């Protein structure tokens, strides 16, 4: 079933066989949509978090529809994330559901922090049941724990064969740019790095930067739209 264009999110559910349950989703498809981004939330906040809400709205203004969804642990109001296997299975189920619901739009996939990393883990192998995804987007890749620089969490990215967009703030304590920049260089030409000045891991910006959080989100959305168009 093809979902119609709308200015308000449409509430949906989709099955995740590995959990024997359903997860909630929100589809926001503007009339001029050219892409559909399957968008996963971060570890500590679900799809209705203000960041996710505002990001989806900004993306819609740029012609990018979004299919936001819950991981099972968030659906069940548990604090501890699911195992990586279950998280990856949920990503695959969400992509399949999004493609069926908004068919006709080329697919992008990614997410905020944990959601983006789990999406990359899910897509590093070809799954016959998962519709083709044109590109992968990280809204703050969690390269390492705060104060513990390292690149072990990115070891799998060399197996991801699709284009990747890294959106990262200069104050992100989960991604030392002196590590992330050379990592993206080694992944070139598949990896593109866009740096948001003075933004932290949640894309909050400093007042003295002369910009606002809302403008930072607008920058993220516009960057995604421009990058997506470069894939065609």
The tens digit of pLDDT for each residue in 127-145 reads: 777 899 999 999 999 999 9
Q: Say which residue the tokens 């969690």 belong to.
A: 142
On whether residue 1 sits in a domain, the answer given is no
Instruction: Please provide the DSSP assignment of 19-45 as one string.
Output: GTEEEEEEEE--TT--EEEEEE--SSS
On whether residue 180 sits in a domain, the answer given is yes
> Tens digits of per-residue pLDDT, 190-205?
999 999 999 999 999 9
For 50, phi then psi, to 5°, come to: -50, -35
Please state, as a whole number, how many other Cβ atoms lie within 10 Å of the Cβ of residue 50.
9
Q: Say which residue the tokens 């740029």 belong to.
A: 62
DSSP assigned state of 8 = S
CATH code for the domain of 225: 3.40.50.1820
Q: Count how many residues are written for the chain.
A: 232
Contacts of 226 (CB under 8 A, 6+ apart): none
On whether residue 167 sits in a domain, the answer given is yes
pLDDT of residue 6: 57
On whether residue 3 sits in a domain, the answer given is no
Which residues constitute the domain of residue 186?
10-230
* Residue 135 burial by Cβ neighbours in a 10 Å radius (0-12, 13-18, 19+): buried
pTM: 0.94
On whether residue 149 sits in a domain, the answer given is yes
On whether residue 145 sits in a domain, the answer given is yes
Alpha-carbon distance 99 to 12, whole Å? 13
Question: Mean of the pLDDT values across residues 86-97?
Answer: 96
On whether residue 5 sits in a domain, the answer given is no
**Of 117 and 17, the one with more pLDDT:** 117
Q: What is the domain count for the chain?
A: 1
Read off the tokens for 41: 């939330």
Alpha-carbon distance 39 to 191, whole Å? 19
Alpha-carbon distance 69 to 210, whole Å? 33
> Tens digits of per-residue pLDDT, 43-62?
999 999 999 999 999 999 99
3-state secondary structure of 187: helix
């Amino acid at each position: 079933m093809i979902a119609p264009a709308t200015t308000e999110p449409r509430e949906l559910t989709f099955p995740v066989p590995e959990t024997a349950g359903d997860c909630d989703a929100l589809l926001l498809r503007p009339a001029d949509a050219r892409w559909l981004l399957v968008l996963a939330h971060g570890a500590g906040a679900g799809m209705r978090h203000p960041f996710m809400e505002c990001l989806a709205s900004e993306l819609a203004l740029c012609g990018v529809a979004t299919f936001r969804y819950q991981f099972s642990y968030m659906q069940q109001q548990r604090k501890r994330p699911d195992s990586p296997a279950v998280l990856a299975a949920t990503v695959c189920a969400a992509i399949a559901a999004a493609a069926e619901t908004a068919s006709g739009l080329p697919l992008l996939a990614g997410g905020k922090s944990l959601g983006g990393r789990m999406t990359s883990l899910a897509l590093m192998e070809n799954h016959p049941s998962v519709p083709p995804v044109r590109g992968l987007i990280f809204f703050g890749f969690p390269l390492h724990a705060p104060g513990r620089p390292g690149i072990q969490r990115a070891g799998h990215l060399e197996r991801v064969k699709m284009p990747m967009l890294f959106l990262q703030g200069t104050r992100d304590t989960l991604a030392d740019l002196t590590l992330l920049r050379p990592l993206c260089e080694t992944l070139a030409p598949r990896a593109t790095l866009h740096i948001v000045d003075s933004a932290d891991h949640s894309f909050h910006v400093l007042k003295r930067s002369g910009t606002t959080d809302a403008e930072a989100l607008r920058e993220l959305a516009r960057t995604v739209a421009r990058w997506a168009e470069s894939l065609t």
